[in-house]
Amino acid sequence: MLSIQTNVAALSAQNNLTSTNSVLQRSMERLSSGFRINRAADDAAGLAISQKMQAQIGGLNQAVRNANDGVSMIQTAEGALDQVQTMMTRIRNLAVQAASDTNGNNERYAIDVEIQQLKAEIDNISVRTTFNGLGLLNGSLVTTQDSTQGEVLNGLTVGTGSVTNVDVSGAAAGATYTFTYDGGAGTLTLSDGTNSSIVDVSNSSFVVAGGSATLNFNSLG
């Protein structure tokens, strides 16, 4: 009796069909997604690079949106200021008109009424001009530093020297600090309006290449 245990040709054809089907599935996946790399198995290194670039692109796109929001906020404030400028010009014209000796008391009273109305409207504009709930012209738009959260700014340049590291973690919340450089005395002063921290930048150890000095926020109290 003749018995066939293995069909080599059929097995080879099946393996080729399986391989071809796998390649076809990957090709269809790439075609439908539009990406050459869809999973780590396609290209692990390429996927890592792609994800990093996508994160960077996402951050840049958000930065662009933030900048556009900033432009919109400035345009809102600019529109309000244009109205204020028009009213201020009108107030000036009325003041010049009131100075004329040809005006009687009634005329000057009418001029004053209009001026007071314009002033009230300017105040209203300063209150009503907001962007996302933030007042733009009423003096409330400020940036404060939380004393519990430190922040470091790098690469700031001042004159011919450079500030390589600014750490405001020691700053008091809500305080306003001022940097002042005195070229004659050769000093750099950090002040909160009450206390001051002074560094002599004319010192040779400071001005040489690589020299450094420190101004401490927490030394101001």
Beta bridge partners of 161: 158
The verdict on pTM exceeding 0.85 is: no
Which tens digit of pLDDT belongs to each residue from 99-150?
Answer: 999 999 999 999 999 999 999 999 999 999 999 888 888 887 765 555 444 4
Which tens digit of pLDDT belongs to each residue from 43-88?
Answer: 888 888 888 998 999 999 999 999 999 999 999 999 999 999 999 9
> CA–CA distance from 209 to each of 5, 126, 200, 206 (Å)?
85, 50, 16, 8
**Which pLDDT band holds residue 170 (cuts at 50, 70, 90)?**
low
Report the percentage of the chain scoring pLDDT > 90. Answer: 35
Q: Stretch 186-205: mean pLDDT, rounded?
A: 70
Is the distance from CB of 142 to CB of 173 less than 8 angstroms? no
Torsion of CA 145, 79, 137, 128, to 10 degrees: -110
CA gyration radius, the chain: 35
**Which pLDDT band holds residue 171 (cuts at 50, 70, 90)?**
low
Report the percentage of the chain scoring pLDDT > 70. Answer: 70
Most confidently modeled range among 135-139, 150-154, 216-220: 135-139
